[in-house]
């Protein structure tokens, strides 16, 4: 039986309710409606990780929500209105809040279609029951605040476990995407998924096929951008979900070599991903993370056991780039991102031709040119693609990469110098001085280049004057 406990029992919830939320609660009450902070906002408030997103639920219908919000909010969005959601922005002195207010739902799903059908509900308990996990099914009624937790979300939050409000089977039948969300929240929150939920995910993994590629991609992205992607990816692979959404990842596990003639590509990949994350400098980088995740997916297809007992994966980077493109296209990633990630996969091995620094300048230049704007990411990917336990080997590899980066920096500096031209070209010099082609033109050119390097640009007139002066001194 649903029961509402008072906020007094959860002082944490009381202390961290945003004044903006309280304000809005008073407005709704004055208009005769209920309003509650809900879902991720309540969970994150209790975990102390609330951002600027506030999610609310209400018994008011979208048109009524609009009427209350318009005079109060700084901007209002109606894009989600067909699903019962109104979006808004409220700017306060210290920060701006993104607000979403959704009318109570009692969702009826057409279990064969890809989209939930929306129908409005009358009570908050019913609304909470159709939410994905108990930790996302808590609410704080406002102004109050009254803490509403009919499904034991607070206990699960304390135990750091993901459990469904109803049975996992019926929840996942209603919306199979929730199986992906379990893996995503495990990765984001570093929570465990309850055993019966894992069992249902394993049993029902096939059902994910009715979910649209876009929804799957969005959850996969959130999982990858989280703090603990290894945990979420493992869940996807262990439950068989990865076989449906990212079979190339599961395939890496099948590549475990029973004779230990090569390293475990699956474990290697997860470690490379974590090492790439450690090298990020400006926050989570989806392109880099996808490239790390996919860099070796060409290996299963290219593995050969050579007569000498060794194992080879010839051209796995080329095959991997193709597979990357196909998978990301299927998951409806944007074209630019597909191009970038598959390019990185294709280039991830190039450095290994560098040996201990044998590349010519032109090989270094080609490396830089082929990577283009992806060069910084390629540095990170290549550096993280070393999971040997042999510390000396790892150090040597990283030193060699340092030396490549140093050569790139040196070349860049030189190229910039090389790119500098005097203010006048040979033709102008001949015109200005009225002389035919000959060694004097070359000397004049050299002189102007020296002046240019010494003083920076002289401008057309200044350069002409300097040229005449120099010429006079030559006579
Ligand atoms: P974050 O915004 O940090 O990704 P969140 O928990 O807010 O996390 P959202 O996807 O924004 O996640 O969804 C908001 C809330 O809506 C969730 O907390 C959950 O209560 C509910 N919800 C979202 N998607 C589903 C779904 N597919 N099935 C059931 N409930 C869902
Ligand atoms: Mg949210």
> What confidence score (pLDDT) does residue 108 get?
60
Q: Which ligand is nearest to the CA of 51?
A: 1
| CA 99 to centroid of ligand 2, rounded, Å | 10
pLDDT tens digits, residue range 408-465? 998 888 877 667 788 899 999 999 999 999 899 999 999 998 888 788 888 899 999 9
Hey, whose CA ends up nearest to atom 3 of ligand 1? 40
Q: How many domains does the chain have?
A: 4
The parent domain of residue 455 ranges over 426-474
The answer to whether residues 324 and 307 belong to one domain is: yes
| CA 137 to centroid of ligand 1, rounded, Å | 9
Give the whole-angstrom CA distance, residue 182 versus residue 188. Answer: 10
Average pLDDT over residues 386-404: 91
Does 9 score more than 50 pLDDT?
no
The answer to whether residues 226 and 91 belong to one domain is: no
Domain boundary among 113, 140, 156: 156
Q: Which atom of ligand 1 is nearest to the CA of 177?
A: 27
Buried b (16+ CB within 10 A) or exposed e, 177-196: bbbbbbbbbbbbbebbbbee
Q: What residues have their beta carbon closer than 5 A to ion ligand 2?
A: 40
Q: Where are the beta strands (DSSP E) in 235-307?
A: 304-305
Residue 38 domain-assigned (yes or no): yes
Q: Among all chains, which residue has been given the structure tokens 């159709």?
A: 130
> What confidence score (pLDDT) does residue 107 get?
64
Q: Which band of pLDDT confidence, cut at 50, 70 and 90, is reported for residue 3?
A: very low
Nearest-CA neighbor of 306 among 361, 261, 349? 261
Share of the chain above pLDDT 70, in %: 92
Q: Which atom of ligand 1 is nearest to the CA of 128?
A: 20
Does 6 score more than 50 pLDDT?
no
Residue 134 domain-assigned (yes or no): yes
Q: Which band of pLDDT confidence, cut at 50, 70 and 90, is reported for residue 115?
A: low
First to last CA, the chain: 106
Give the whole-angstrom CA distance, residue 106 versus residue 416. Answer: 64
Cβ atoms within 10 Å, residue 224 = 22
Hey, whose CA ends up nearest to atom 17 of ligand 1? 39
Pocket of ligand 1 (CB under 6 A): 39-40, 53, 55, 131-132, 136, 175, 177-178, 222
> What confidence score (pLDDT) does residue 51 get?
81
The answer to whether residues 146 and 218 belong to one domain is: no
Domain boundary among 97, 122, 156: 156
Residue 143 domain-assigned (yes or no): yes
The answer to whether residues 35 and 126 belong to one domain is: yes
The answer to whether residues 334 and 403 belong to one domain is: yes
pLDDT tens digits, residue range 272-325? 999 999 999 999 999 999 999 999 999 988 888 888 888 888 899 999 999 999
The answer to whether residues 101 and 164 belong to one domain is: no
pLDDT tens digits, residue range 143-157? 888 999 999 999 999
Burial class (CB in 10 A: 0-12, 13-18, 19+), 356: exposed
Q: Which band of pLDDT confidence, cut at 50, 70 and 90, is reported for residue 258?
A: low
CATH number for position 134: 3.30.460.10
Residue 250 domain-assigned (yes or no): no
The answer to whether residues 215 and 332 belong to one domain is: no
Residue 330 domain-assigned (yes or no): yes
The answer to whether residues 148 and 16 belong to one domain is: yes
| CA 117 to centroid of ligand 2, rounded, Å | 20
The answer to whether residues 188 and 326 belong to one domain is: no
Lowest mean pLDDT among 29-33, 79-83, 88-92, 432-436: 79-83
Q: Which band of pLDDT confidence, cut at 50, 70 and 90, is reported for residue 391?
A: very high
| CA 133 to centroid of ligand 1, rounded, Å | 9
Tell me the two tokens of residue 444: 């004049």
Domain boundary among 134, 156, 178: 156
Residue 19 domain-assigned (yes or no): yes
Hey, whose CA ends up nearest to atom 22 of ligand 1? 131
> What confidence score (pLDDT) does residue 2 get?
41
The answer to whether residues 172 and 77 belong to one domain is: no
Share of the chain above pLDDT 90, in %: 72
pLDDT tens digits, residue range 167-193? 999 999 999 999 999 999 999 999 999
Rounded to 5 degrees, what are φ and ψ at 121? -110, 175
Does 4 score more than 60 pLDDT?
no
| CA 52 to centroid of ligand 2, rounded, Å | 10
Tell me the two tokens of residue 420: 């500098």
Lowest mean pLDDT among 70-74, 253-257, 328-332, 466-470: 253-257
The three-state DSSP-derived secondary structure of 194-206 is CHHHHHHHHHHHH
Nearest-CA neighbor of 136 among 126, 124, 121, 151? 151
CATH number for position 231: 1.10.110.30
Three-state SS at 235: helix
Does 26 score more than 60 pLDDT?
yes
The answer to whether residues 142 and 196 belong to one domain is: no
Give the whole-angstrom CA distance, residue 389 versus residue 49. Answer: 36
The answer to whether residues 276 and 411 belong to one domain is: yes
Does 28 score more than 90 pLDDT?
yes
| Higher pLDDT among residues 94 and 66, named by residue | 66
| CA 53 to centroid of ligand 2, rounded, Å | 7
Average pLDDT over residues 226-251: 97
Residue 339 domain-assigned (yes or no): yes
Q: Which band of pLDDT confidence, cut at 50, 70 and 90, is reported for residue 353?
A: confident
Give the whole-angstrom CA distance, residue 273 versus residue 266. Answer: 11
Residue 251 domain-assigned (yes or no): no
> Which pTM was predicted?
0.84
Hey, whose CA ends up nearest to atom 26 of ligand 1? 132
């Amino acid at each position: 039986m649903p029961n509402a406990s008072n906020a007094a029992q959860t002082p944490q919830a009381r202390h961290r309710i945003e004044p903006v939320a309280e304000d809005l609660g008073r407005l709704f009450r004055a208009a005769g409606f209920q309003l509650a902070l809900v879902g991720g906002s309540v969970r994150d408030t209790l975990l102390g990780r609330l951002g600027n997103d506030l999610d609310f639920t209400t018994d008011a219908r979208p048109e009524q929500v609009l009427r209350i919000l318009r005079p109060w909010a700084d901007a209002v969005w109606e894009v989600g209105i067909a699903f019962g959601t109104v979006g808004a922005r409220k700017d306060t002195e210290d920060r701006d809040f993104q607000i979403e207010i959704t009318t109570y739902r009692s969702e009826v799903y057409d279990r064969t279609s890809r989209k939930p059908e929306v129908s409005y509900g009358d009570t908050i308990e019913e609304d909470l029951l159709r939410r994905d996990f108990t930790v996302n099914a808590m609410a704080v009624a406002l102004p109050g605040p009254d803490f509403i937790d009919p499904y034991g979300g607070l206990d699960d939050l304390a135990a750091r476990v993901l459990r469904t409000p109803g049975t996992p089977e019926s929840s996942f039948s209603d919306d199979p995407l929730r199986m992906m969300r379990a893996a995503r929240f495990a990765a984001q929150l570093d929570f465990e998924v309850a055993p019966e939920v894992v069992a249902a995910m394993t049993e029902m993994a096939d059902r994910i096929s009715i979910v649209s590629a876009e929804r799957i991609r969005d959850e996969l992205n959130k999982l990858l951008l989280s703090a603990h992607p290894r945990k979420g990816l493992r869940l996807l692979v262990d439950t068989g979900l990865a076989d449906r959404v990212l079979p190339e990842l599961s395939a890496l596990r099948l590549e475990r070599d029973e004779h230990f003639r090569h390293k475990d590509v699956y474990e290697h990949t997860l470690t490379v991903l974590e090492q790439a994350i450690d090298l990020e400098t400006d926050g989570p980088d989806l392109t880099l993370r996808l490239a790390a995740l996919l860099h070796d997916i060409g290996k299963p297809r290219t593995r050969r056991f050579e007569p000498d007992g060794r194992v080879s994966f010839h051209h796995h980077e080329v095959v991997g780039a193709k597979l990357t493109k196909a998978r990301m296209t299927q998951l409806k990633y944007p074209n630019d991102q597909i191009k970038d990630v598959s390019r990185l996969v294709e280039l991830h091995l190039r450095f290994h031709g560098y040996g201990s620094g044998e590349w010519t300048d032109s090989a270094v230049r080609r490396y830089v040119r082929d990577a283009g704007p992806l060069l910084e990411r390629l540095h990170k990917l290549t550096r993280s693609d070393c999971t040997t336990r042999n510390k000396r080997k790892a150090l040597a590899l990283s030193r060699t990469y340092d030396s490549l980066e140093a050569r790139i920096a040196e070349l860049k500096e030189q190229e910039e110098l090389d790119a500098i031209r005097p203010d006048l070209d040979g033709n102008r010099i001949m015109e200005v001085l009225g002389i035919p082609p000959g060694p004097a033109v070359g000397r004049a050119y050299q002189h102007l280049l020296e002046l240019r390097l010494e003083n920076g640009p002289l401008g057309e007139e200044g350069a002409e004057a300097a040229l005449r002066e120099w010429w006079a001194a030559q006579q």
